[in-house]
Structure 1
Amino acid sequence: MSLVTKLRSERAEANTKLQALATKESGGATLSAEELQEFSQLEQQIADLSAKIARAESAERAAAAAAVPLNESAAGINGPPGNRPAHITVTDNAQAGTRVAQMARMIAAAGGNQMQAAELARSSGMGEDVVMALSTTSPGAGGVLVPANMAREVIESLRPTSILRSFGARPLPLVNGNMGLPRIKGNTTVGYIGMDTDINVTGMVFDDLKLQAKKLAALVPISNDLLKFSGVSPQVDAIVVADLFTSTGLYEDITFIRSNGNGGVSPKGLRYWAPAFNIVTAPAGTSLAELDAFLGGLMLRVEMASANLAASGWIMSPRSIRFLQALRDGNGNKAYPEIEQGKLKGYPFKLSTQIPINLGAGGDESEIYFGDYSDCYIGETGEMVLAYSTEASYKDGNGDTISAFQRDQTLVRVITHNDFGPRHVESIAVGVGVKWGKDMLA
């Protein structure tokens, strides 16, 4: 308790006693000599306390005026923060790509009106970055340009769904849509020489990996019932994000693995980058010795090319790995027990349904890929454009034409540009004519 408060409490107590005596006298009673003496003492006490209170208040005002800030370094954990700026860390736990999904939803909900989409985003409580992106980006004939930082979220999030990205294929920026990577095609001649012998003069032979931006378009159908939830709905955003990532990642797989380039329209895949001497036909038999030699041969071709093997592994159809998983040696033991840990002959494997199992004349063949994927490059422009339509049609996985209008859907079109290629084609080996496991689906 401060001194001023204590003195005021004592003065209030003395005043209560004084008022009691005054009330008694005003009621017609006569005060005794002792009571008169007490009344005089109380008057003097109240006067003294009032003087003390005045002096104490004056001292407090002077102390406050002359106060100096404390040394905050010695304030301790419970000390006042003073003028020290607050350090606040905000962690955004939203799924990567959510902001792009929110932009897509708002554009679709606003019927393509970008300014209305920005107002919808603001009124729905979405992040200021989404509102600003919709407000400041100029719409073009092809749609709304997604800011580079948001587009990068989507591209980086394709890593788990795209096999080659998850294996470690390296992304590169395509400046003005083009990128050239020199590679060594032939080495210099090095050797020991004797006295008075000429040194062989040779030079390295170089070639280029040329990446050129090729248009990748994804169509994401969104139910109009979902668009009715115009507020911030993590569940709705997650559905849009999942559809976008899955469709884009799967199409990247089928393109980067098996595309023939389609006359330069799409990137060329591993199957058509691999040199002829690295394409091996699987044996007709299915004995352990034959299969092991075949798999080892694929590995050996990459190893003999002096590949770094920094991010090597297998890519195959689920049918192929399930057959190898069930394969037994002469003692009844699993031939490749490490498959349970996600490896085959010491290297990780990844499965893709984008590798067909209906190839060949009989419609029952598949393929197996082994390579050093750190030597593969994905060129990207880093740009993404969104557009929408409620009247357009699209084809489903079976090739059937679906009307978005008839299904009460809104189609969101996402367009980006990329290209793919290995720097050294010798770092890729492909096994073809793989019929193992065809009876498993009979």
Structure 2
Amino acid sequence: MTIQQLIEAMNNRAQQVKALAAIEANGEELTEEQHQQFLTLQKEHAELGEKLTRARAAEQIAIQEATPIANKSGPSVHVKKEAENYPGAKIARFGMAIAAGRGNLQDAQKFAETELNDKDVAMAVSTAAGSGGALVPENLSSDFIELLRPRSIVRKLGATVMPLPNGNLTIPRHTGGAVSGYKAENEPRNADTQTLDDVKLSAKTQMTIVPISNELIGKAGRNVESIFLKDMLAATATRQDKAFLRDDGTNNTPTGMRKTALDSGRVKAFSGDKTDILIIDQYLDSLILTLEESDSAMIMPGWGFSPRTAIYLAGLRDGNGNKVYPEMAQGELKGYPFAKTTNIPVNLGTGLAMSEIYFADFNDVIIGEAEEMTIDFSREATYNDASGNLVSAYSRNQSVLRLVTGNDIGFRHLEGLVLGTDISF
């Protein structure tokens, strides 16, 4: 299949997934057949994405350097090297074109075609008109979201991503099951029924501010594009992880895993000597047992740590000098994958020296993504830098791009979540 055919096939699968999600959004339950179809479509979409990545890599390898072509009747004609295709290249060029065009889409389209030499991006810009900014095409926003996966630990550990039609999605879930029992002859027995409630996801607006030097905007090339792309990805992924893990639902933020665990009593505190290997091992087992005793399906369990906790556990050694958890070198702890992030703090609780551990069946974690993503532009804006200082783009000769999207997080089954607190290691 060609690259265009792969993209069309991925979009086709995505539309079918949205259609099935819309059924649940309207309050209906999926049939077993529809549920299986949903899983199959998800798998096919992922496989097509992998094929697309390989196809783009192959196309990139095939691109040759520009060579002069002899022309007997005049000067040599030089063929301009085509733009490289690599994961995230087009979303980066899209943003750079908007910046170079200073928000004027016609100028942005011309820049993409003549300077960046990317006709796909030029075409995308030409149809990008949206309210309040340039609307990022679906295939570019999908590519961007896929690139977020390895950078956000909640996504990386296997959370399910679903579209939010019109910014909202309602998914029914079981909160209580039917109960079976025995009875004597002629003894009445009341019927026990299942109870339901809803997982309601509502897109919370996320803005990513990307300042870029005006001196770089007019320069094409992979290095410049990579700087821009890395800034967008890093800022977006870092803020999402903080929201999905620890935001509490106030100030228009998602209600993250910590708040959900606290509200549902899914919390286990560590108490003991952090130098005692047996106590630590028993505590980690207790977190796993919390899910198993709650009848969690344990389809895709995983750990979330601070870097401090991960390094401490990886360095533990028994009395013979052997590592207690050698499997951590392969990214697992007690048979389950782990990921680490500085969004899990180490300055909590007593003495401001405590941290947290998140253990969850990430198959039960649902990330809802708004269907629209926009990019705005300004050369006069002020913004807060990483240290919280107010910066003037005008005085620094910068352009500021603002990436706006929406997302939320929810949980199919609360039995698949436990929060470890008072972690002193």
TM range, smaller chain: 0.7 to 0.9
Q: TM-score, normalised by structure 1?
A: 0.74
Match of 1:297 in 2: 286
1:258 matched to 2:249:
no
Match of 2:329 in 1: 340
Measure, in 2, the Cα distance between the counterparts of 1:205 and 1:139.
43
Measure, in 2, the Cα distance between the counterparts of 1:209 and 1:387.
32
Measure, in 2, the Cα distance between the counterparts of 1:277 and 1:97.
41
Q: Is the 8 A contact 1:189 1:200 kept in 2?
A: no
Query: In structure 2, which of residues 96, 120, 134 is the aligned counterpart of residue 129 of structure 1?
Result: 120
C-alpha RMSD over aligned residues: 1.7
Q: Is the 8 A contact 2:359 2:418 kept in 1?
A: yes
Q: Secondary structure at the match of 1:102?
A: helix
Structure 1 residue ranges (4+ consecutive) displaced by more than 6 angstroms after TM superposition = none
Match of 1:282 in 2: 270
Q: How does 1:9-408 map to 2 (within 5 A)?
A: 92-93=59-60, 94-140=85-131, 142-229=132-219, 231=220, 233-263=221-251, 265-274=252-261, 275-286=263-274, 287-408=276-397
Q: Secondary structure at the match of 1:202?
A: coil
Q: Secondary structure at the match of 2:129?
A: coil
Q: Secondary structure at the match of 2:420?
A: strand
**Which letter maps to 1:118?**
Q
Q: Is the 8 A contact 1:152 1:382 kept in 2?
A: no
Moved more, 238-247 or 250-259: 238-247
Using the TM superposition, give the Cα deviation of residue 295 of structure 1 relative to its aligned residue in structure 2, in angstroms. Answer: 1.0
Q: Secondary structure at the match of 1:290?
A: helix
Give the 3 Å change call, closer, same or farther, for CA 136–341 of structure 1 in structure 2. Answer: closer
Deviations 1:197-242 (A, max 9, x none): 334301101111100111011011112221121x4x1221122111
Deviations 1:230-270 (A, max 9, x none): x4x1221122111111111111111101111124x011111
Using the TM superposition, give the Cα deviation of residue 125 of structure 1 relative to its aligned residue in structure 2, in angstroms. Answer: 4.9
Q: Secondary structure at the match of 1:362?
A: helix
Deviations 1:326-362 (A, max 9, x none): 2222333222222222211221111101111111242
**Which letter maps to 1:355?**
I
**Which letter maps to 1:172?**
M
**Which letter maps to 1:211?**
L
Q: TM-score, normalised by structure 2?
A: 0.77
Gaps of at least 5 residues in structure 1 are 1-88, 437-442
**Which letter maps to 2:232?**
L
Match of 2:412 in 1: 423
Deviations 1:157-201 (A, max 9, x none): 111111111111111111111111111101111123343333430
Measure, in 1, the Cα distance between the counterparts of 2:227 and 2:116.
19
Measure, in 2, the Cα distance between the counterparts of 1:240 and 1:372.
34
Measure, in 2, the Cα distance between the counterparts of 1:378 and 1:407.
37
Measure, in 1, the Cα distance between the counterparts of 2:289 and 2:139.
41
**Which letter maps to 2:268?**
V
**Which letter maps to 1:294?**
Y
Q: Is the 8 A contact 2:162 2:367 kept in 1?
A: yes
Measure, in 1, the Cα distance between the counterparts of 2:143 and 2:416.
30
**Which letter maps to 1:373?**
F
User: Which has the larger Rg?
Assistant: 1
Match of 2:37 in 1: none
Q: Secondary structure at the match of 1:176?
A: helix
Give the 3 Å change call, closer, same or farther, for CA 196–363 of structure 1 in structure 2. Answer: same
Q: Secondary structure at the match of 1:253?
A: helix
Gaps of at least 5 residues in structure 2 are 1-54, 61-84
Measure, in 2, the Cα distance between the counterparts of 1:254 and 1:136.
33
**Which letter maps to 2:88?**
G
Q: Secondary structure at the match of 2:371?
A: strand
Using the TM superposition, give the Cα deviation of residue 302 of structure 1 relative to its aligned residue in structure 2, in angstroms. Answer: 1.1
Match of 1:29 in 2: none
Q: Is the 8 A contact 2:163 2:369 kept in 1?
A: yes
Measure, in 1, the Cα distance between the counterparts of 2:191 and 2:218.
74
Using the TM superposition, give the Cα deviation of residue 117 of structure 1 relative to its aligned residue in structure 2, in angstroms. Answer: 0.9
Q: Is the 8 A contact 2:129 2:135 kept in 1?
A: yes
**Which letter maps to 1:279?**
V
Using the TM superposition, give the Cα deviation of residue 271 of structure 1 relative to its aligned residue in structure 2, in angstroms. Answer: 0.3
Equivalent pairs counted in the alignment come to 344
Q: Secondary structure at the match of 2:401?
A: strand
**Which letter maps to 2:423?**
V
**Which letter maps to 1:346?**
G
Give the 3 Å change call, closer, same or farther, for CA 92–149 of structure 1 in structure 2. Answer: farther
Q: Is the 8 A contact 1:278 1:298 kept in 2?
A: no
